[in-house]
Chains A and B, each alone.
Chain A
Amino acid sequence: MSDDLRDTFFLECFELLEVLESGLLDLSNGDAEDPDDTIAAIFRAVHSVKGGAGAFALDGLVRLAHKFETVLDAIRERRLQLSPDVMKVCHSSSDALSDRVKAEQSGEPVDEARETELIAALSALLGAEEEEDEDASLGGFTPLAIDLPGGDGEQDAGPIALQIDDPEPEPEAAGFKIEWAPNAAFFSRGGEVTRIIRALATLGDVETSCNGEDVPPLDAVTPDAPILRWVIEVATDVADEEIREIFEFAMDDGEVRIGPIETAAAAPQDADAEGQGSPGVEPAPSAGTAPIESPPQTAAATPPAAREMPMEREVAKESQQKKSPPSTPKQTIRVDLDRVEQLINLVGELVINQAMLAQRLDGVDMPHDQAIIDGLDEFRLLTRDIQESVMAIRAQPVKPLFQRMARIVREAAQATGKEVRLSTSGEWTEVDKTIVERLSDPLTHMIRNAVDHGLENGEERIAAGKPSEGVVTLAAAHRSGRIVIEVGDDGGGINRKKVLGVAIQKGIVPADANLSDAEIDSLLFAPGFSTATEVSDLSGRGVGMDVVKKAIQALGGRTSISSRPGFGTTFSISLPLTLAVLDGIVVNIAEQTAVLPLSNIVETLRSETLEVKSVGSDSKVVLVRGVSVPVIDIGVELGFREPLTTLEDKVFVIVENHEGDTHAMVVDQIIDQRQVVIKGLEANYGETKGVSAATILGDGRIALILDVDVLVEDSRNLNTPLAMAMTG
């Protein structure tokens, strides 16, 4: 079996599993618009998985899918009620099916015990009904590997039903005589007498006659009415199975009698067709009998049925034009990601070029020409539209990602013994593909965190007057050109006293620190912070929210927390729509232009309002509302200039690195805030410390995009780590 077909199968499986999972989720949340439709869709999904699995002889997958499908079928046909218990088994089956597909793809072993358990649970749901059904349906479904011949045309047919050279000797080797009276059903199913005769003709010479005795007057004739009886003689030495095979689908639709050709004397009793006799003997013409010419040997000589009725076809064409075309399903094509990336790059260039052109023309003293102005305007709008459309190619809804989280919630709920429901919204919000992929881990962690630490246990909830079932919410939305994803819980909120205590104990903040609620909350993101007093199987130790924050920052995103005691906690992630553009502020440093990513920036302050203190020989700190913030002179760090003696007339950009430490970056001037197209530097310059990429500004100048984390790291190595950064 060719590998790409296998790939297609697994790819499709994962899509089907998404349909399954989202359908089940909608059903359990009561979000399904039309539950019957949803049930039908998930049934089809499992059914298709089974169908494909059968073709690839993935017996284990077939077994599980089959059992699951049988249950879904029972639900679909309302033989089984979709109770919460049934729903639970369905969710588990969906998870197991997903695991099984992954295992089949990777060749890794599956948890057979769990699967067996599930199959038993599914069987239990079916109860007595299954006993009778089971053997028939699975028995009929024998997985059969299809061996596709390769390009060299080798016909490895596997089991062939046609036994061409059946050695069974037929005494009357002359051939077969078939008496046949097709009924109306035969015609209503697209049957054609000529096709059958043609198929017979491939076995040997055919002599056909037709008894038209029952033909009514012409005005009473309808094309489909069963009015003719046929006698067909085939001179062949094949076995009668082959003849029967040709009549396979016609057997039930009329009378068919197949027997050996007899000698002319022994005429059939009931068929008063006169065309009997040995081949070659012209039947005596008589009333009601018309000899039919033997059809040509090749199938292609006669066009298909529709062509035989030119009138009907013309009518059909006409009605077809009047009819509006039925809506087609969404068409998709698969494109190499490299090509899309290339396109995005080129569009980036286009946007920059357009901006440059516009800026240059602005400065040129040109005669006022409305056509040119309009043309440029059109150009600008088109460029923007193209950019948006191209970015949309990479955009994907977060729905599949959210669906995966449903499973995380279920598993976390099981591990903690809490009752938890996941409520999602904004699943159709689209985000750049790369971002969606890289959100999976941080979200998983946040969801587990919400279940593990956010939600109280059932007793505590009931004591607090809440339903015992906790709710974890997962929401996505577009907000001012960014994506905001929120993970919330309706738990007890952050225990700030405990958090502060832990932070002090771990030396994250000094014992006498006086922190606001928001500052305490943000301690959850501090490295090394974990409130789990015992090692939790779930959130684990060592992996804290700081890792989440780091991952989000790597995507150009920001994280924040809000919490209300007794009402729960919400973690928010704000992300750029794509990784190809970046929100930043454009600054001047020692006559160089640079861009600082907005995701790192806390605030900007003018130097004259602040007190700068020297610490040691060449380190400085600036007091921001009483807190010492280490100063980093980017100009010096990047080698643009020598250290300055005074920081007057400068601007401090207060930045936060991935560890949550704040630093004050010294720049000469802030030019503006804008979205810039990211251009990699590595291809031309290799890795440059402190610089993550570059961009081309509208006026054609090249600006370096600064890497705050690296700059902070570097300055620490240079300076004595005296100034301990404090959040706030």
Chain B
Amino acid sequence: MKALTVLAIDDSRTMRELLRRALTDRGFEVEVAVDGLDGLEALERSEPNVVITDINMPRMDGFGFIEAVRKGEVSRRVPILALTTESAPELRQRARDAGATGWIVKPFDPEKLAGVIRRVAA
């Protein structure tokens, strides 16, 4: 079975590294991007099965990224999970309104995260 590829977008190096390790250890291929614009570029290069994006980022934030993906032609159907420390429902809703498939609350439990990814990428 081919490994699922996850694109993880976060401006924090620590967070990117955490995601990368948590996911590679669970059998995913992981690509990373540092902000929304970088993420869009990554989407043009490759076809991840799932995208995980942080919300607060410089240049282009998570909302902007999700909207751009949904409006764009490339990979517009890719599942996107918004990753944020805010568990506040209104931010979740904003991410959903922008077109996020789902959300993950930081700090995440890697096993649960992997489960959510497998589900949305099935």
Whether the Cβ atoms of B119 and A246 lie closer than 8 Å is: yes
Residues of B in contact with A, size category: 35 or more
Complex formed: what's the CA distance from A41 to B40 in Å? 21
Complex formed: what's the CA distance from A192 to B122 in Å? 10
Nearest A-chain residue to B112, judged by Cβ: A161
**Minimum distance in angstroms from B58 CB to a CB of chain A:** 7
Complex formed: what's the CA distance from A149 to B109 in Å? 12
Q: Which residue of B2, B25, B58, B120 contacts A195 across the interface (Cβ within 8 Å)? A: B120
Nearest A-chain residue to B22, judged by Cβ: A148
Q: Is A137's beta carbon under 8 Å from chain B?
A: yes
Whether the Cβ atoms of A190 and B78 lie closer than 8 Å is: yes
Across-interface contacts of B94 in A (CB, < 8 A): none
Whether the Cβ atoms of B99 and A160 lie closer than 8 Å is: no
Across-interface contacts of B21 in A (CB, < 8 A): 2, 5, 148
Whether the Cβ atoms of B14 and A55 lie closer than 8 Å is: yes
**Minimum distance in angstroms from B19 CB to a CB of chain A:** 10
Nearest B-chain residue to A323, judged by Cβ: B44
Complex formed: what's the CA distance from A568 to B121 in Å? 67
Whether the Cβ atoms of A306 and B78 lie closer than 8 Å is: yes
**Minimum distance in angstroms from B92 CB to a CB of chain A:** 10
Whether the Cβ atoms of A249 and B110 lie closer than 8 Å is: no
Nearest A-chain residue to B2, judged by Cβ: A300
Whether the Cβ atoms of B109 and A44 lie closer than 8 Å is: no
- Given A300-B1, A316-B73, A146-B101 contact (CB < 8 Å): no
Whether the Cβ atoms of A306 and B107 lie closer than 8 Å is: no
Q: Which residue of B40, B73, B75, B108 contacts A319 across the interface (Cβ within 8 Å)? A: B73
B-contact 0/1 string along A547-570, CB 8 Å cutoff: 000000000000000000000000
**Minimum distance in angstroms from A387 CB to a CB of chain B:** 32
Whether the Cβ atoms of B88 and A192 lie closer than 8 Å is: no
Across-interface contacts of B58 in A (CB, < 8 A): 40-41, 44
Q: Is A162's beta carbon under 8 Å from chain B?
A: yes
Whether the Cβ atoms of A48 and B86 lie closer than 8 Å is: no
Whether the Cβ atoms of A188 and B22 lie closer than 8 Å is: no
Q: Is A298's beta carbon under 8 Å from chain B?
A: yes
Whether the Cβ atoms of A198 and B18 lie closer than 8 Å is: no
Whether the Cβ atoms of A146 and B108 lie closer than 8 Å is: yes
**Minimum distance in angstroms from A296 CB to a CB of chain B:** 11
Whether the Cβ atoms of B106 and A55 lie closer than 8 Å is: yes
Whether the Cβ atoms of B101 and A189 lie closer than 8 Å is: yes
Nearest A-chain residue to B119, judged by Cβ: A199
Query: 20 interchain pairs (CB within 8 A)?
Result: A5-B14, A8-B17, A44-B57, A50-B85, A52-B12, A54-B85, A54-B106, A55-B106, A141-B85, A146-B110, A153-B25, A189-B99, A190-B99, A191-B101, A192-B79, A199-B119, A306-B75, A319-B73, A320-B74, A329-B34
What 13 additional pairs, Cβ within 8 angstroms, besides A158-B109, A202-B122? A43-B56, A44-B11, A48-B56, A137-B88, A146-B18, A146-B109, A155-B26, A189-B99, A192-B79, A199-B122, A300-B2, A304-B121, A329-B38
Considering the complex of A and B, which 4 residue pairs feature the smallest CB-CB distances, nearest first? A140-B87, A305-B77, A249-B102, A157-B111
Binding site for B on A (CB under 8 A): 2, 5, 8-9, 11-12, 40-41, 43-44, 47-48, 50-52, 54-55, 136-137, 140-141, 143-149, 153, 155, 157-162, 188-192, 195-196, 198-199, 202, 245-246, 248-249, 252, 298-300, 304-307, 312, 315-316, 319-320, 325-329
